């Protein structure tokens, strides 16, 4: 991941909770500075955003055509908090 010092045109909207994932993909930290990081990855690959004893957040990326430009977006996310698991995928919408 690379840190963006200045907000970009795809910056996440302000959030009262602090953390967010948006754009292609932009990740906003939970700390008070709300520092933004752009996830630079390979479409089709999966990455661990958080990995510690009781918390794991993984995302998989996909290529998408948007306004005649190729972009990389988060296609699916998996979250583990202790024994609880949450998984969501764009491809599973409506199933």
**What are the per-10-residue average pLDDT scores of the chain (95 residues)?**
43 59 69 78 87 89 76 87 89 58
The boundaries of the domain holding residue 8 are: 1-40
Q: 51 and 90: one domain?
A: yes
Centre a 10 Å sphere on the Cβ of residue 49 and count the other Cβ atoms it contains: 17
Q: How far apart are CA 54 and CA 62, in angstroms?
A: 27
State whether 11 and 26 are in the same domain.
yes
Each residue's pLDDT tens digit, 78-95: 999 999 999 988 876 554
Domain match, 28 and 47 both: no
Print burial letters for 26-42: b (CB count within 10 Å at least 16), e (below 16).
bbbeeeeebebbbbebe
Q: What is the pLDDT of residue 40?
A: 82
Number of domains in the chain: 2
In angstroms, the CA 46 to CA 60 distance is 4
My answer on whether 49 and 14 are in the same domain is no
Q: How far is CA 26 from the centre of its chain?
A: 6
């Amino acid at each position: 991941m690379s840190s963006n010092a200045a907000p970009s045109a795809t910056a996440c909207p302000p959030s009262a909770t602090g953390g967010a994932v948006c754009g292609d993909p932009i990740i906003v930290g939970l700390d008070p500075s709300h520092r933004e990081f752009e996830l630079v990855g390979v479409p089709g690959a999966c990455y661990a955003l958080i990995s510690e004893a009781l918390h794991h957040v993984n995302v998989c990326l996909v290529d998408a055509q948007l306004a005649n430009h190729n972009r990389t977006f988060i296609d699916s996310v998996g979250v583990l908090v202790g024994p609880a698991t949450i998984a969501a995928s764009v491809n599973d919408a409506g199933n």
